Structure 1
Amino acid sequence: MACFFLVLALIAVMIVVPRLTGSTAYTVLTGSMRPSLPPGTLIVVKPLEPEDIRIGDVMTYQLESGESEVVTHRVVGIGATTDGEQRFTLRGDANNTDDEPVIAQQIRGSLWYSVPYLGYVNSALSGEQRIWLTRVAVGGLLAYALVMLLGAWRDKKAKEGP
């Protein structure tokens, strides 16, 4: 039973919570954010308005605006171009050089929470497998609730007598 609840908790952390909050789960693939976010760490990134970004925040951004490839690094500088467009400079904690400055449209969000090693599981699951796991988890919870309700009803009937 404990294993079942552990699996449910992992599914909630990886799939349900991010989906309900509009967040996105990613897996750290490189060592650029060591020691705080080593490879294999699951990170959940929550959308953030550009004006709320501060130096020191860990952000996930698109390498190229509109492309799917992303990087998660720490904000080390905030500035603007001569025409007033805001730019963010980021760097991996384990890196010696800054990344190319990014614009607000490239920012996917800020680090909300992370779970070591769970990223390996996240990377191994396809979209269809995630849907299947979510359905199994919901079904398992409903079955558990039904068993608990029936047990309580049976105990109440036993106390009342024949």
Structure 2
Amino acid sequence: MTASDVGAESDAADAPEERTGVWWWIRTVTSGALLIVAFAVLAALVVVPRIAGATPYTVLSGSMEPTLSPADLIVVKPVPADELRAGDVITFQIESDNPAVNTHRITQLAYDAQGQLRIQTQGDANSIPDSDLLVPGQVRGKLWYSVPYLGYANNLLSGENRQVLIMVVVGGLGAYAVWMFCGSLRDRSRKTTVADVSPERGESR
């Protein structure tokens, strides 16, 4: 064995692992995709509604198909009554002083003999309007955005579980960021060490 062979073997042992392999790319892409999905779910379920003062609901029936389907997540944002228009999709209390809600489209706005605003609604999949007219106090808000199938996750998250999810995801994101940062520093340190302590290579026969 020549001295130059020994030097080459030493360099190979000290060099950092090459990050171009197929499995490295698969792991990197998969972890990145999962991180993005987790962040998107957290944002849709918790962060964005909380910042905007909106409320997430889960669609339970097919009365608004094809616009909204069962298990869709909808986020509803409060709006003043004078900003409501025919065609808006709203979430409302089915009865005053009853927490149960429904989500249908406004078909007509009118005023009664006392000057009270009345709101007529109808599900997109229903052939006739809802039997009862609404008053503004029953309206919880106007549809802001919806996400297919995410309603399942919303149903699993009670107030306590929602807080736990926030802490877990935020902690996971922080740990992932620290891991990536430390890995970058470690690789940079290894490269510097290999460059500074490169053995002199001679030849022998």
Query: TM-score, with normalisation over the residues of structure 2?
Result: 0.72
Which residue of structure 2 aligns with residue 94 of structure 1? 125
Question: 1: CA distance between counterparts of 2:84 and 2:122?
Answer: 15
From the CA coordinates, give the structure whose radius of gyration is larger: 2
| Letter of the 2:51 counterpart | L
Structure 2: which 5+ runs fail to align? 1-30, 197-205
Structure 1: which 5+ runs fail to align? none
State yes or no: 1:23 paired with 2:54: yes
State yes or no: 1:12 paired with 2:43: yes
- CA drift at 1:128: 1.6
Which residue of structure 1 aligns with residue 149 of structure 2? 117
- Percent identity of paired positions between Structure 1 and Structure 2: 48
Structure having the larger proportion of residues in helix:
2
State yes or no: 1:51 paired with 2:78: no
Map 1:1-162 → 2, pairs under 5 A? 1=31, 2-99=33-130, 100-154=132-186
1:72-94 deviation line (CA, Å, top 9, x unaligned):
00000001111111111000001
**How many matched pairs?**
162
Structure having the larger proportion of residues in strand:
1
- CA drift at 1:42: 0.6
- CA drift at 1:4: 3.4
- CA drift at 1:159: 7.6
| Letter of the 1:28 counterpart | V
Secondary structure at the aligned position of 1:44 is classed as strand
Across the aligned residues of Structure 1 and Structure 2, the Cα RMSD in angstroms comes to 1.9
- CA drift at 1:154: 4.8
Secondary structure at the aligned position of 1:73 is classed as strand
List 4+ stretches of structure 1 deviating above 3 A: 148-162
